[in-house]
Amino acid sequence: MTKPSRSVTVVIPARYGSSRFPGKPLVNLGGKPMVQHVYERAAACRVVSDVLVATDDERIKRAVEQFGGRVLMVTGDYRTGTDRVAAVARMFAGEFFVNLQGDEIPLNPELLADLIEPFIQSGAEVGTLKRAMDATDDLSNPAVVKVTTDAKGYALYFSRAPIPLVRDDPDRRVVTGLHYIHLGVYMYTKDSLLRFTALPTSRMEDAEKLEQLRGLEHGMRIRVWETKHASLRVDTPEDAAPVAEKLQQFEALKRELSLGRAVPSR
């Protein structure tokens, strides 16, 4: 793989003590811990320089070492995953840092390129991704974060609520071109990352439990790009089995395609 011309470090915060799903980074998905799926796809992205896991738990550290990944113990009282990423950024040189949440599994490494390449060219200080929503159930699901943007692609708001609300539709259906899922991946310049994490927790951030709202409330602009690449997310223990099955189906399709036995749907 050709080495990227710019320094892009992907940090995967992996905390053991999730309130909704303790030990989530280690959940077995098709024979691999979830953190390994996330790590391998990040490492396969052609525009990523380095990948490492930042954890507070020896069990996660051992699991990452077992599959040959880079891992760093980052202990302490950190508010969010981004604050843990900033702790890593203080230890290492680098131009750009990506916070890839440990429960967001890109099915294609190009998903990360959809953020990294335009971010580097844009001069933005914070960037993230959205994807068109296609399931009406996701609109009302608080585990699925929604995002709205202005005409230039900057975030107006992120919410667990159905935004924007179509007032005259009592069925609350998804509208193409209006409703977007926000993905758990953020990109920062090193300077903007350190400034972001120096800010106090905002009221909106605390209410929605969405760290990106800290930046918005304090006047930082967040540029949002769209990806069409799929990802899988594990929020609760009940998500593990269906996600494992989808991963297995995806890997089987990849093998078929590599052997020329299947034609991908358009």
Alpha carbon distances (Å) from 209 to 20, 31, 146, 214, 219: 13, 31, 13, 10, 18
- The answer to whether residue 29 scores a pLDDT higher than 90 is yes
- The answer to whether residue 229 scores a pLDDT higher than 50 is yes
More confident site: 248 or 145: 145
Structural contact between residues 155 and 130, judged by C-beta atoms closer than 8 angstroms: no
Percent of the chain with pLDDT over 90: 79
Percent of the chain with pLDDT over 70: 95
More confident site: 30 or 186: 186
Kind of pairing between the strands at 146-149 and 222-226: unpaired
CB neighbours of 251 closer than 8 A, spacing ≥ 6?
30
Per the DSSP assignment, residues forming a β-bridge with 126 are 188, 222
- pLDDT value for 265: 46
More confident site: 210 or 248: 210
- The answer to whether residue 137 scores a pLDDT higher than 60 is yes
- pLDDT value for 258: 72
Residue 46 main-chain phi, psi, to 5 deg: -70, -15
Q: Could you tell me the domains of the chain?
A: 8-258 (3.90.550.10)
pTM of the model: 0.91
- pLDDT value for 253: 81
- pLDDT value for 178: 96
Question: What angle is formed at CA 84 by the lines to CA 78 and CA 85, rounded to 5 degrees?
Answer: 160
Nearest to 70 by CA among 90, 103, 92: 92
In this prediction, residues 212-234 reach a mean pLDDT of 96
Write the Ramachandran bin of 111: left for phi over 0, alpha for psi from -120 to 50, otherwise beta.
Answer: alpha
In this prediction, residues 19-39 reach a mean pLDDT of 91
Across 4-13, 45-54, 183-192, least confident range: 4-13
Measured distance CA(31)–CA(37) in Å, rounded? 10
- The answer to whether residue 2 scores a pLDDT higher than 80 is no
- pLDDT value for 251: 83
- The answer to whether residue 1 scores a pLDDT higher than 60 is no
pLDDT tens, residue by residue, 38-86: 999 999 999 999 999 999 999 999 999 999 999 999 988 899 999 999 9
In this prediction, residues 104-129 reach a mean pLDDT of 96
- pLDDT value for 3: 55
- The answer to whether residue 257 scores a pLDDT higher than 90 is no
